[in-house]
């Protein structure tokens, strides 16, 4: 039996959750409250670094969401989420890693600002917006006029970038500047896996309130 330890608002968790759904696998979700559940001994036994997501499959415990995506692809290859043509493999990996290493460092401070956490530093915000726009131009060029990054069918590139991209508009990074990228994002959001895993406005409001209380406690 597959079990995913997660929280619904985590982008790191959501990419694995979407992959499980897209593969049509049967799995159990165990939701953690990151206000402390991650430090409980039973969870630390799964991940000593106290991070979600964690994927358990029988005797195997996997930490790190990208390792989970690779594991699912190798263990449950149908339907495939990795193309086989060499150039398409390179593109899928490029998009996955550029999301992690180039887009996320811009998204993180913009998210803190959107959520109203702390005083945003104007210079850092400008830098993040510039980096985010550069990323969107890069991704638009990689997508070209294909329906998905790997070609005609969904791949792990779509899963990884596609669980960050729906936030871009709200962060001040307009996907609409790139019509094909916007159409790609809309296509993903219409899929059942994206709809099932989409955070609701109530979840976002509850998260914002929890963080506000946490910050007040730290300052008090
Ligand atoms: N590189 C890890 C990152 C995991 C991560 O940062 N998880 C965060 C939530 S998004 C977490 O568990 N934070 C709780 C903590 O650090 O105690 C992955 O991709 O799985």
Query: Does residue 207 surpass a pLDDT of 90?
Result: no
200 located within any domain: no
**Residue 53, ligand 1, Cβ within 6 A:** yes
Give the confidence band of 123 by pLDDT, cuts at 50, 70, 90.
Answer: very high
The predicted structure's pLDDT at residue 155: 98
Is the pLDDT confidence value at 50 over 80? yes
CA distances from residue 169 to 30, 105, 164, 201 in whole angstroms, order as listed: 30, 16, 11, 15
Q: With a 6 A CB cut-off, is 21 part of the ligand 1 pocket?
A: no
Alpha carbons 16 and 81: distance in angstroms, whole number: 12
Distance 54 CA to ligand 1 centre (A): 10
d(CA 151, CA 28) in angstroms, rounded, equals 31
Q: Could you tell me if residue 220 is inside a domain?
A: no
Q: Is there a single domain that holds both residue 94 and residue 50?
A: no
Regarding the beta carbon of 12 and ligand 1, being less than 6 Å apart is answered yes
Q: What is the pLDDT of residue 29?
A: 98
197 CB under 6 A from ligand 1?
no
Looking up residue 30, the CATH number of its domain turns out to be 3.40.30.10
Judgement on whether residues 91 and 185 belong to the same structural domain of the protein: yes
Residues 50 and 100 in one domain: no
Q: How remote is the CA of residue 134 from the centroid of ligand 1, in Å?
A: 25
Do 152 and 66 share a domain, yes or no?
A: no
* Mean pLDDT rounded to a whole number for the chain: 95
22-26, 58-62, 120-124, range with the lowest pLDDT: 120-124
pLDDT at 220: 63
**Is 208 part of a structural domain of the chain?**
no
Q: Is residue 218 part of a domain?
A: no
* Residue 14 in this model has a pLDDT that exceeds 80: yes
Q: Looking at residue 172, which CATH number applies to its domain?
A: 1.20.1050.10
Residue with the larger pLDDT of the pair 208 and 195:
195
CA of 177 from ligand 1 middle (Å) equals 31
Could you tell me if residue 205 is inside a domain? no
Q: Looking at the DSSP assignment, which residues form a beta bridge with residue 28?
A: 3
Residues 148 and 103 reside in one and the same domain? yes
- Angle at which helix 122-143 crosses helix 104-115, to 10 degrees, equals 130
Q: Using CA atoms, how far apart are residues 95 and 117, in angstroms rounded to an integer?
A: 29
Q: 214: number of CA atoms within 13 Å, CB side? A: 11
Residue nearest to atom 14 of ligand 1 (CA): 51
Least confident of 16-30, 53-67, 107-121: 107-121
pTM of the model: 0.95
Give the H or E element holding residue 111: helix 104-115
Domain boundaries, position 172:
86-189
Q: Could you give the number of structural domains in the chain?
A: 2
């Amino acid at each position: 039996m597959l079990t995913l330890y997660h929280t619904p608002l985590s982008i790191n968790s959501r990419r694995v959750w979407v992959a499980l759904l897209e593969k049509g696998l049967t799995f159990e979700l165990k939701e953690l409250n990151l206000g402390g559940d991650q430090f409980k001994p039973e969870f630390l036994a799964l991940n000593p670094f106290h991070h979600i997501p964690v994927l358990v499959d029988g005797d195997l415990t996997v930490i790190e969401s990208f390792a989970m995506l690779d594991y699912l692809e190798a263990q449950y290859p149908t339907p495939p989420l990795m193309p086989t043509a060499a150039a398409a493999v390179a593109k899928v990996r490029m998009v996955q890693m550029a999301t992690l290493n180039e887009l996320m460092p811009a998204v993180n401070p913009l998210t803190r600002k959107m959520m109203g956490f702390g005083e945003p530093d104007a210079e850092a915000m400008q830098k993040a917006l510039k980096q985010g726009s550069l990323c969107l131009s890069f991704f638009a060029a990689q997508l070209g006029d294909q329906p998905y990054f790997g070609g005609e069918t969904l791949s792990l590139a779509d899963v990884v970038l596609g669980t960050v991209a729906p936030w871009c508009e709200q962060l001040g990074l307009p996907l609409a500047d790139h019509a094909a990228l916007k159409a790609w994002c809309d296509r993903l959001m219409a899929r059942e896996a994206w709809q099932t895993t989409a955070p609701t406005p109530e979840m976002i409001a509850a998260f914002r309130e929890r963080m506000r209380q946490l910050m007040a406690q730290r300052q008090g």
